[in-house]
Structure 1
Amino acid sequence: MTVNEDSFTNWKNREEITESMIPIIGKLHRERDVTVLLHSRSLVNKSVVSILKTHRFARQIAGEELSVTETLPFLQALTTLDLGPSQIDIGMLAATYKADDRGLSVEEFTAGAVAGATGVNKIERREPRDVVLYGFGRIGRLVARLLIEKAGSGNGLRLRAIVVRQGGDQDIVKRASLLRRDSIHGQFQGTITVDEAKSTIVANGNEIKVIYANDPSEVDYTAYGIKDAILVDNTGKWRDREGLSKHLRPGVAKVVLTAPGKGDVPNIVHGVNQDMIKPDEQILSCASCTTNAIVPPLKAMEDEYGVLRGHVETVHSFTNDQNLLDNYHSSDRRGRSAPLNMVITETGAASAVAKALPDLQAKITGSSIRVPVPDVSIAILNLQLARETTREEVLDYLRNVSLTSPLRRQIDFISAPDAVSSDFIGSRHASIVDAGATKVEGDNAILYLWYDNEFGYSCQVIRVVQHVSGVEYPTFPAPAA
C-alpha cells in the first residue's frame, strides 16, 4: 500500500468516527441544552468536514492536530451523565486530561471536570425567552440567523417577531428572500417559507411574525402573545436612553442597541464588561463592531503588560451609510463612491473604550479609512506598554489568551502567512490576532486585528442578549482566569 493510500484510509476512518459523533452532539443539544464545543468553537449542526477542520485547528496548541479518536471518548462519557444546560469543550477536556497525573479513566475525569453541570449543581431548563428584532437590515438578518440556529431544544432564545416599515407589494416575500440568500454570508442553513396571509416567516420551524410599524408607539406586542421580550434595535435611529425608552412597550422588558449608545446608556463588550450590567437595567448598547474588535485584546494587553497610551487605525469595509456613486451626504467624504474610493472618516471606537474599560487610564485615539470591500475589516492597534517585551512573548501570550482564557470567545489567533480579509468572513470572534503582522520593539507593540464587522459583531450581540436573558450557560472545563 502506498503512502497516499495510507493517508486516504486514515481520512476515511476519521470521517466514519466523526459521523458517529454528529448524532450524539445533536441529541445533547436538543434534549439537554448542552452545546458541545471544541476549543470554543461550536460543533452543533456542523458537517463531518467542518468538525474535522475544527480538530485541525488544535495544531495551534500543541503543534499537532487533535484527532477525533481522542475526543470521541469524552463525548461518549458525556452521554452517561445527568447534564443540565451548559457548554462543554471536549477539546479542553482532552487537553487537560493529557496533563492530569491522577490516573483517572476518561469517564472519571470527565465527570469531575463537568461536575458543575450535573446533579444538584445543574441549571434547570428555563422557559424560552422571547426576542423581537426592530429593523431587519444586514445586522438584523444575521442576528436572526443566529437566533434561529441557537433555538436548539426551544428552551433558550426564541425569535418571535421582526418590526419593519411597510415596503410595498410583496414586502414579506422580499424580506424572507434577503434572509434566505446573502451575497456575503451565503445561503441560510435550512428552510424558509412565507405565509403572507398571516404575515409570518417560518424558518427551520420558527414562526416569526412580521409587524409593520413606523414608530415604536404603534406596536402592542402583547397582541401577538409576546411577553417579557428582549428587543434588539438594529436601526440605530435612537441611541440615547430617552429615544430607546420608546421601545419599552407592553410585552418588552429590555432593549439592546446594535450601535454605540449615547449618554448614560451602558456600552457592553461581551467578555469584558457584561458583568457590570445591573439586573434592573432595561436599556443597553453592544457598542460598535470596531469597539468589540479592539477592547478584548486591549484588555488582554493591559492585564499582562500595562498600556500607557495607544492609537487605533481601522481599515474598514464600506457600509450602507455610504453612497454607491457620488452624491450628497451629511458627513464629510462619505458622499463619495464607496466601491471606487478609500475614504478617510472618523471612528467612535477609541472614545468608546473608556465606557467598556473605565479602569484603563491610557489615552486611546483613533481614525478610520473605509475601503472598497463589502465585509471584514482590520484594526491596527499601536500601543505603548508599561514594560518592555519581545514579539515572541507577546505572540505566545495572545495565542494562549485565545485558547484558554475567559476571552477565548472574543479573541482568535492566526499564524497563516498568506491570510487575507476574505478568510475571516463568518468568523464568530470579535477579533483575530494576525501573528505574522505583529510587531514588537521594546515597549512598543503593534497588533493587527482582523474582524468580520458583520457576523463577528452579530455573535457578540447574541452573547449579550443571552447574558441579560439568563440563558448564557456556563462553560466546562472553566477557562483559566
Structure 2
Amino acid sequence: MTVNEDSFTNWKHREEIAESMIPIIGKLQRERDVTVLLHSRSLVNKSVVSILKTHRFARQIAGSELSVTDTMPFLRALTTLDLGPSQIDIGMLAAMYKTDDRGLPVEEFTAEAVAGATGANKIECREPRDVVLYGFGRIGRLVARLLIEKAGSGNGLRLRAIVVRKGAGQDLVKRASLLRRDSIHGQFHGTITVDEANSAIVANGNEIKVIYSDDPTSVDYPAYGIKNAILIDNTGKWRDREGLSQHLQPGIDKVVLTAPGKGDVPNVVHGVNHDMIKPDEQILSCASCTTNAIVPPLKAMADEYGVLRGHVETVHSFTNDQNLLDNYHKSDRRGRSAPLNMVITETGAASAVAKALPDLKATITGSSIRVPVPDVSIAILSLRLGRETNREDVLDYLREVSLTSPLKRQIDFTNAPDAVSSDFIGSRHASIVDAGATKVDGDNAILYLWYDNEFGYSCQVIRVVQHVSGVEYPTYPAPLV
C-alpha cells in the first residue's frame, strides 16, 4: 500500500469515529444537559468534518494534533456515568490523561476528573430562564442565533420575545429573513418560519414573539407569558442606570446592555470580573467588543509579569454607525465613506479597563482606526512590563493560558503564519493571540489580538447572561488556576 493510500485509509477511519461521536454528543446534550467541548470549543451540532477540523486545530495551541482516536474513549466513558448538567472538555481529559502516571483505566480516570458533575455532587437541571431582546440589529440577531443554538434540552435560556419598532411593509418577514441569512456569518443552522397570525418567528421549534414598541415602559410582558426575564438591550439608546431602568417593567428582572455602561452601571467582562456581580444587581453592561478583547490578555500579562503602563491601538472593522457614502454625521470623521476610507476615531476601551480591572494601577491609553472590512478587528496592545522577559516565554505562557486557565474561553492562540482577519470570522473567543506578530524586548511587549467584534462579543454577552441567570453550568476538568 502506498503512503497516499495509508493516509486516505487513516482519514476514512477517523471519519468513521467522528461520525459515531455525533449521536453520543447529541444524546448527552438532550438528555443530560451536558455540553461536550474540545479545548473550549463546543462539539454540539457539529458535522463530521467540523469535529475532525476542531481536533486538528489543537496542534496550533497544544503543539501536536489531537486525534478522535485519543478522545473517543473519554466520550464513551462519559456515557457510563451518572452525569448532571455540565460542560465537559474531552480535549482536556485526553491531555491530562497523557501526563497522569498512575496507569488508571480511562473509565476510572474520567470518573475521577468529572466527579463534581456526577452522583450526589451533580446539580439538577434548572427551569428555563426567559430572555427578551430589545432591538434586533447586528448583535441582537447573533445573540438570537446563540440562544436558539443553546436551547438544547429545553433547559437554560429561552428566547421568548424580540421588541422592535415596526417597519413599513412585511416587517416580520424581513426580520426573519435577516435572521435566516447573514452576509458575513452565513446561513442560520436550522429552520425558520414566520407565523404572521401570532406575530412570531419560529426558529428550530422555538416560538419567538415579535413585539412592536418604541417605548420600554409600554410593553406588557406578562400578557405574553414572560416572567422573571433577562432583557438584553442591544440598541445602545440608553446607557446609564436611569435610562436602562425603564426596562424594569413587570416580567423583566434584569437588564443587560451590549455597549459600555455609563455612571455606576457595572461593566462586566466575562472571565475577568463576572464573579463580582452582586446577586441583587438588576442593571449591568457587557462593555464593548474591544474592552472584551483586551482585558483578558491584559489581566493575564499583569498576573504573570506586572504591567506598568500600556497603549492599545485598535484597527476596527466599520460599523452601522458610519456612512456608506460621505454624508452628515455628528462625529467629525465618521461621516466619510466607511468602505472607502480608513477613519481615525476614538475608543472608550482603554478607559473601560479601570472598571473591569480596578486593581490594575497602570495607565492604559487608546485610539482607534476604522478600516474597510465588515467584521473582525485587531487590537495592538503595547505594554511596559514589571519585569524583563523574552518572546518565547511570553508565547509559552499565553499558549498555556489559552489551554488550561480560567481564561481559556476568552483567550485563543494561533501560530498560523498566514493568518488574516477573515480567518477569525465566527470565533467564539474574546480575542486570539497572534503568535507570529508578537514582539518582546526586555520589559516591552506588543501583543496582536484578533477578535470577531460581532460574534466573539456576542458569545461574551451570552456567557454573562448565563452567569446572572444561574444557568451557567460548571466545566470539567476544572481549569488550572
User: Shorter-normalised TM-score: what interval?
Assistant: over 0.9
Q: Distance in 2 between matches of 1:92 and 1:449?
A: 24
Overall identity of the aligned pairs, in %: 90
Q: Which residue of 2 aligns with 1:155?
A: 155
Q: Distance in 2 between matches of 1:157 and 1:465?
A: 9
> Which amino acid in 2 is paired with 1:478?
A
Retained in 1: the 8 A contact 2:60–2:416?
no
Q: Which residue of 1 aligns with 2:123?
A: 123
How far residue 64 of structure 1 moved from its aligned partner, in angstroms, is 2.1
Q: Does 1:215 align with 2:245?
A: no
Retained in 1: the 8 A contact 2:130–2:229?
yes
Q: Which residue of 1 aligns with 2:22?
A: 22
> Which amino acid in 2 is paired with 1:196?
E
Q: Which residue of 1 aligns with 2:66?
A: 66
Q: Distance in 2 between matches of 1:61 and 1:284?
A: 33
Retained in 1: the 8 A contact 2:62–2:403?
no
Q: Distance in 2 between matches of 1:365 and 1:351?
A: 7
> Which amino acid in 1 is paired with 2:210?
V
Q: Which residue of 1 aligns with 2:103?
A: 103
Q: Does 1:193 align with 2:198?
A: no
Q: Which residue of 1 aligns with 2:326?
A: 326
Q: Distance in 2 between matches of 1:62 and 1:136?
A: 38
Q: Which residue of 1 aligns with 2:459?
A: 459
Q: Which residue of 1 aligns with 2:475?
A: 475
Q: Which residue of 1 aligns with 2:82?
A: 82
Q: Which residue of 2 aligns with 1:365?
A: 365
Retained in 1: the 8 A contact 2:61–2:414?
no
Q: Distance in 2 between matches of 1:131 and 1:379?
A: 31
> Which amino acid in 2 is paired with 1:368?
S
> Which amino acid in 1 is paired with 2:416?
A
Q: Distance in 2 between matches of 1:439 and 1:60?
A: 19
Alignment deviations for residues 275-308 of structure 1 (CA, whole Å, 9 cap, x no partner): 1100000000000000000000000000000000
SS at match of 2:299: helix
Q: Distance in 1 between matches of 2:314 and 2:125?
A: 42
Retained in 1: the 8 A contact 2:307–2:362?
yes
> Which amino acid in 2 is paired with 1:200?
A
Q: Distance in 1 between matches of 2:227 and 2:478?
A: 33
Q: Distance in 1 between matches of 2:151 and 2:332?
A: 43
What is the number of residues matched between the two proteins? 481
If the length of structure 1 is used for normalisation, what is the TM-score? 0.99
Q: Does 1:295 align with 2:267?
A: no
Q: Which residue of 2 aligns with 1:32?
A: 32
Task: Give unpaired runs (5+ residues) of structure 1.
Answer: none
Q: Distance in 2 between matches of 1:162 and 1:365?
A: 37
Q: Distance in 1 between matches of 2:183 and 2:108?
A: 48
> How do 1:388-403 residues align onto structure 2 when only pairs under 5 Å count?
388-403=388-403
Q: Which residue of 2 aligns with 1:254?
A: 254
Alignment deviations for residues 413-433 of structure 1 (CA, whole Å, 9 cap, x no partner): 000111000000000000000
Retained in 1: the 8 A contact 2:157–2:466?
yes
> Which amino acid in 2 is paired with 1:332?
D
> Which amino acid in 2 is paired with 1:118?
T
Q: Distance in 1 between matches of 2:15 and 2:239?
A: 49
Q: Distance in 2 between matches of 1:442 and 1:69?
A: 42
Q: Which residue of 2 aligns with 1:270?
A: 270
Alignment deviations for residues 55-82 of structure 1 (CA, whole Å, 9 cap, x no partner): 1122135532111111111000000111
Moved runs in structure 1, 4+ residues, more than 3 A? none
Q: Does 1:317 align with 2:330?
A: no
How far residue 402 of structure 1 moved from its aligned partner, in angstroms, is 0.5
Q: Distance in 1 between matches of 2:463 and 2:49?
A: 26
Q: Which residue of 2 aligns with 1:283?
A: 283
Q: Distance in 1 between matches of 2:206 and 2:116?
A: 31
Retained in 1: the 8 A contact 2:200–2:210?
yes
Q: Distance in 1 between matches of 2:43 and 2:213?
A: 38
Q: Does 1:414 align with 2:430?
A: no
What is the CA RMSD across the aligned residues, in angstroms? 0.6
SS at match of 2:440: strand
SS at match of 1:344: strand
SS at match of 1:210: strand
Q: Which residue of 2 aligns with 1:404?
A: 404
Q: Distance in 2 between matches of 1:61 and 1:67?
A: 14
> Which amino acid in 1 is paired with 2:367?
S
Alignment deviations for residues 210-262 of structure 1 (CA, whole Å, 9 cap, x no partner): 00001101101000000000000000000000000000000000000000000
Q: Which residue of 2 aligns with 1:203?
A: 203
Q: Does 1:445 align with 2:445?
A: yes
Q: Distance in 1 between matches of 2:381 and 2:101?
A: 41
Task: Give unpaired runs (5+ residues) of structure 2.
Answer: none
Q: Distance in 2 between matches of 1:198 and 1:169?
A: 17
Q: Does 1:93 align with 2:96?
A: no
How far residue 204 of structure 1 moved from its aligned partner, in angstroms, is 0.3
SS at match of 2:322: coil
Alignment deviations for residues 132-169 of structure 1 (CA, whole Å, 9 cap, x no partner): 00000000000000000000001110000000001011
Q: Distance in 1 between matches of 2:438 and 2:58?
A: 21
Q: Distance in 1 between matches of 2:386 and 2:101?
A: 38
Q: Distance in 1 between matches of 2:61 and 2:341?
A: 40
Q: Distance in 1 between matches of 2:461 and 2:289?
A: 10
> Which amino acid in 2 is paired with 1:274?
H
Q: Distance in 2 between matches of 1:176 and 1:400?
A: 42
If the length of structure 2 is used for normalisation, what is the TM-score? 0.99
Retained in 1: the 8 A contact 2:85–2:473?
yes
SS at match of 2:197: coil
Alignment deviations for residues 396-418 of structure 1 (CA, whole Å, 9 cap, x no partner): 00010001100000000000111
